[in-house]
């Protein structure tokens, strides 16, 4: 599942392939921007912002307005990079964006969102986000302030709200709450130490940002053994042996600016009733 660490790695991949290179071809397969052409522009930077990705371009030889291609991976999206002319590893009908240089092709498959905005106006698409857990502008105090401003919210929903802190998805939400021994339905005001949860999230994303396989159990782990509770409903808790509980939490509680486009929906949460008792 793409979360902040996945987007961080995707940005690094695209930066290596595109930064400083002139685009010789672009193909944007979203109706709202399908006629846009970025060819002739130079990619100046690729920036992750929480679970969002920004490919910035200059104004090209004509001195046009610098533009940023904004994408969101949602649940299934992924950017691939290939040598120019190489065969893609996914079907062409899944491609939503193609950015081609003299040497490489970057292809965005199954992207959940794709916009083209003036670089100076990026706040239009990412300005609502809270401090980025993997960003150079990370601000712990600001993140805690945003959580404190929603004291009645369930902590399991508040951590997923990208307006509070950007980069946490469902995997990290579940793992952080388990490691912090906090029940996901606890009100923010009743969490004994919200700062400890924020610090855990910051540490886990940083540890995993350069790993090919995410793990929260203290180091690289075999597939199926890399998480404490995520996806482990009815299995024994790795800490105490009790059965892991699976419940649902409604994204509608997140309000405007939910952590992804689309209608509200229930999301699974996993927790150990013994290790994470209700407050």
Which member of 41, 56, 209, 267 is catalytic?
267
* Residue 3 known to be catalytic: yes
Residue range 220-232: average pLDDT? 87
Q: Is the CB of residue 158 less than 8 Å from the CB of residue 191? A: no
Q: How many residues does the chain have?
A: 279
Fold of 4-127: N-terminal domain of MutM-like DNA repair proteins (3.20.190)
Residue 196, pLDDT score: 98
* Percentage of the residues of the chain whose pLDDT score is greater than 70: 94
Q: What is the pLDDT of residues 191-214, one digit of tens each?
A: 999 999 999 999 999 999 999 889
Enter the pTM of the model: 0.92
| Burial readout 223-246 (b: 16 or more C-beta within 10 A, e: otherwise) | eeebbbbbbbeeeebbeeeeebbe
Q: Is the pLDDT of residue 103 over 90?
A: yes
* Residue 253 known to be catalytic: no
Q: What is the pLDDT of residues 56-90, one digit of tens each?
A: 999 999 999 999 999 999 989 999 999 999 999 99
Residue 261, pLDDT score: 40
Which member of 9, 49, 51, 173 is catalytic?
51
Pair of tokens at residue 217: 């159990």
Q: What is the pLDDT of residues 139-150, one digit of tens each?
A: 999 999 999 999
Pairing verdict, β 52-57 and 67-72? antiparallel
State the CATH architecture for 140-271: Orthogonal Bundle (1.10)
Which member of 2, 48, 131, 259 is catalytic?
2
Residue 29, pLDDT score: 97
Domain parsing of the chain, residue ranges: 4-127, 140-271
* Residue 76 known to be catalytic: no
Q: Is the pLDDT of residue 258 over 50?
A: no
Residue range 106-128: average pLDDT? 97
* Residue 2 known to be catalytic: yes
Residue range 247-266: average pLDDT? 54
């Amino acid at each position: 599942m793409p979360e902040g660490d996945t987007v961080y790695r995707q940005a690094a991949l695209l930066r290596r392939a595109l930064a400083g290179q002139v685009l010789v071809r672009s193909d944007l397969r979203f109706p709202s921007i399908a006629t846009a052409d970025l060819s002739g522009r130079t990619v100046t930077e690729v920036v992750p912002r929480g679970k969002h990705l920004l490919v910035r371009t200059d104004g090209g030889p004509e001195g046009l307005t610098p533009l940023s291609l904004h994408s969101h991976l949602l649940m299934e999206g992924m950017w691939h990079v290939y040598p120019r002319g190489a065969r893609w590893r996914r079907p062409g009908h899944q491609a939503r964006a193609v950015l081609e240089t003299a040497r490489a092709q970057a292809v965005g498959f199954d992207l959940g969102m794709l916009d083209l905005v003036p670089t100076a106006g990026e706040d239009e698409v990412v300005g609502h986000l809270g401090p980025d857990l993997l960003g150079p502008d990370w601000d712990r105090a600001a993140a805690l302030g945003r959580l404190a401003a929603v004291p009645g919210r369930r902590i399991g929903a508040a951590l997923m709200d990208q307006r509070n802190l950007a980069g946490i998805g469902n995997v990290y939400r579940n793992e952080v709450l388990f490691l912090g021994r906090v029940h996901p339905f606890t009100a923010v005001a009743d969490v004994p130490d919200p700062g400890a949860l924020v610090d855990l999230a910051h540490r886990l994303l940083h540890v995993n940002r350069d790993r090919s396989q995410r793990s929260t159990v203290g180091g690289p782990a075999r597939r199926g053994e890399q998480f404490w509770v995520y996806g482990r409903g009815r299995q024994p808790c790795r800490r105490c042996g009790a059965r892991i509980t699976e419940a649902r939490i409604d994204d509608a509680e997140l309000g405007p600016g939910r952590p992804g486009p689309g209608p509200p929906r229930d999301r699974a949460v996993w927790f150990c009733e013994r290790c994470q008792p209700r407050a």
